[in-house]
Amino acid sequence: MVDPFQSATELAAQVRRREVTPSELVEATLARIELHEPRLNAFCHVTADAARTVAREQDARLAAGEQDLPPFFGVPIAIKDLHPVAGWPLCSASIGAAHPVMERDAAAVAALRGAGFVFVGGTTSPEFGTVSVTESHRHGVTRNPWDLGRSPGGSSGGAAAAVAAGVLPIAHGSDGAGSIREPASYCGLVGLKPSRALVPSDIHAMEGLATEGVLTRTVADTAAALDVFAAAPRRSWYVAPPAARSYAESASVDPPRLRIGCNLQPAFPGVDVHPHAAQIGRAAAGLLSDLGHDVRDVRLPGLDPEWFERTFDVLYAAGSADVPIEDEARVEPLNRTLRERARATDALTYIDAVYALQLRSAELIGLWDEIDVMVTPTNPLLAPPEGWQWEGQEDDPWRPLRRAEQTASLTVLGNVLGLPAISIPLFSQPDGMPLGVQLMGRPWQDGTVLSLAGELERARPWHDRRPAGFA
């Protein structure tokens, strides 16, 4: 019997040892989808027949004695519904989109396919990935397995819900302001936003603020997946420098004594930090100090909200530019508003916003001259209930975005600066609900971030924590 909470690297090792076959893993995954999907709504489509076909082909390769197998051979995975997969319609979680069938994989998706993963379907997201919950007119409401009345976060919420519930060992996601780290935090998972340009991409989405990655239950799985991405062919305008050693190796050894800056304040003034989030941030700083690191309090210079809205919003409004729209009237209200804003923005204003964001980034990144890693709570707010994101949008169509900016106010800096940032489930709230700790490193120092995350995982393991009703 396949343990639904085994890690992806453990399952891959079992396949290589011929202890389990890809077909057995796929059938177990499809059975768990059928069992849990009515409660979670984490999948927008399931490709059972195609997954079985690929698994049988992999079974045959094993039976033939093939030894030189890719690292995740036979392990099931799902792809977030905002990214092209060859032969799948690209829904973008939208009723108004044209849903074209994709002719080829996106670059990061191709890397995952080449690593031997078996694709079992697409996971839900909000329309165009715009907000911090996973609710859309097209796919409905995706629920958090730790509390079905709460959101798993967004925009990679379907991916997070599936992994947290033991449906999958690993799932693909993407992050433009915290969309991997926030669901990881709310669902008790590991979620890394890699450094800018480290993951292969056909385009630099949102001027490089957005990137792709995975959601997992272990630091080792996240590191091994990053090795897959880092080894993929590079075709984009910008390419990250190579790491000195593999990310899997970095994650397996403790780092040297690091300068850790503890920050509990969001980038935006006026965002209240929930007491549970502040407590978790302080507890993480205390544990890091106990492990021998030089921990000091730091304070972000902050991002003026009005300035941020004048710059980031200009880029964000154009985020659906690559989505073919069939019926603009059926696009959801917030995204219609954003698209109208994008059409009304001239090229000079757009470029001015890009330059302003880059200049401010150059100022803020100087903080990392004094520290190696910043530790924060991942989220200032707790996982919201269903419908929270949309309250009041009838009076102000921008309100859902402002709420998303609040929930992302501790994560978005990693996107703006292009830094590696990981959320790990180090602690739980008093009621048992997860809430993550974020580690944000220096440019392209993903190995240091993973090494520190691995040290914390070994010091305070979280593998036995599982949502009731899904174990």
Q: Could you report the per-residue pLDDT of 377-386, keeping only the tens digit for each? A: 999 999 999 9
What span, in angstroms and rounded, lies between the C-alpha atoms of 76 and 26?
6
The confidence score (pLDDT) of residue 307 equals 85
Model pLDDT for residues 206-225, shown as the tens digit of each residue: 898 999 999 999 999 999 99
Percent of the chain exceeding pLDDT 70 equals: 100
The answer to whether residue 195 is catalytic is no
The confidence score (pLDDT) of residue 275 equals 97
CATH T-level fold of 8-459: Amidase signature (AS) enzymes (3.90.1300)
Looking at the predicted structure, is the pLDDT value of residue 268 above 90? no
Distance of CA 113 to the CA centre of its chain: 18
The confidence score (pLDDT) of residue 2 equals 83
* 94, 132, 151, 155: the active-site residue: 155
Extended strands (E) in 235-392: 259-262, 294-297, 373-377
Top-confidence residue, 202 or 286: 286
The confidence score (pLDDT) of residue 239 equals 81
Are the C-beta atoms of residues 67 and 30 closer than 8 Å to each other?
no
Percent of the chain exceeding pLDDT 90 equals: 89
What span, in angstroms and rounded, lies between the C-alpha atoms of 448 and 44?
36
Looking at the predicted structure, is the pLDDT value of residue 303 above 80? no
Query: Which residue has 């992994």 as its token pair?
Result: 163
The answer to whether residue 193 is catalytic is no
The confidence score (pLDDT) of residue 310 equals 83
Query: Which residue has 């420098």 as its token pair?
Result: 241
Mean pLDDT of 246-269: 95
Mean pLDDT of 182-201: 97
Enumerate residues 6+ apart whose C-beta is below 8 A from 30.
46, 48, 51, 120
The confidence score (pLDDT) of residue 327 equals 97
Mean pLDDT of 2-24: 96
The confidence score (pLDDT) of residue 235 equals 74
Confidence class for position 49, pLDDT limits 50, 70, 90? very high
- For residue 47 the two structure tokens come to 């490709």
The confidence score (pLDDT) of residue 205 equals 84
Query: Which residue has 């399931």 as its token pair?
Result: 46
Model pLDDT for residues 414-439, shown as the tens digit of each residue: 999 999 999 999 999 999 999 999 99
Are the C-beta atoms of residues 229 and 108 closer than 8 Å to each other?
yes
Query: Which residue has 């396919």 as its token pair?
Result: 113
Looking at the predicted structure, is the pLDDT value of residue 234 above 80? no
The confidence score (pLDDT) of residue 4 equals 87
Mean pLDDT of 15-42: 98
Q: Coil, strand, or helix at residue 145?
A: coil
Looking at the predicted structure, is the pLDDT value of residue 120 above 90? yes
The confidence score (pLDDT) of residue 424 equals 99
Looking at the predicted structure, is the pLDDT value of residue 25 above 80? yes
Looking at the predicted structure, is the pLDDT value of residue 72 above 80? yes
- For residue 33 the two structure tokens come to 């989808």
Mean pLDDT of 150-167: 98
Are the C-beta atoms of residues 357 and 416 closer than 8 Å to each other?
yes
Mean pLDDT of 142-156: 98
Looking at the predicted structure, is the pLDDT value of residue 242 above 80? yes
Q: Please count the other Cβ atoms lying within 10 Å of the Cβ belonging to residue 425.
A: 25
No. of helices (H) and no. of strands (E), the chain: 15, 13
Looking at the predicted structure, is the pLDDT value of residue 309 above 90? no
How much is the mean pLDDT over the chain?
95
Q: Where do the domains of the chain lie?
A: 8-459
Looking at the predicted structure, is the pLDDT value of residue 122 above 80? yes
* 7, 151, 179, 409: the active-site residue: 179
Q: CA dist 243 to 55, 235, 417, Å?
A: 33, 18, 19
Are the C-beta atoms of residues 113 and 148 closer than 8 Å to each other?
no
Looking at the predicted structure, is the pLDDT value of residue 202 above 80? yes
The confidence score (pLDDT) of residue 450 equals 98
Mean pLDDT of 240-248: 93
* 7, 23, 80, 201: the active-site residue: 80
What span, in angstroms and rounded, lies between the C-alpha atoms of 466 and 383?
17
Please name which of 41, 58, 57, 43 lies closest in space to residue 88, comparing C-alpha atoms: 43
Mean pLDDT of 153-168: 98
Q: Checking DSSP bridges between strand 140-141 and strand 294-297, what pairing results, if any?
A: unpaired
Concatenating the DSSP letter of every residue in 213-234 gives EEEESSHHHHHHHHHHHHTS--
The confidence score (pLDDT) of residue 470 equals 92
Q: Where is 76: in which H helix or E strand?
A: strand 76-80
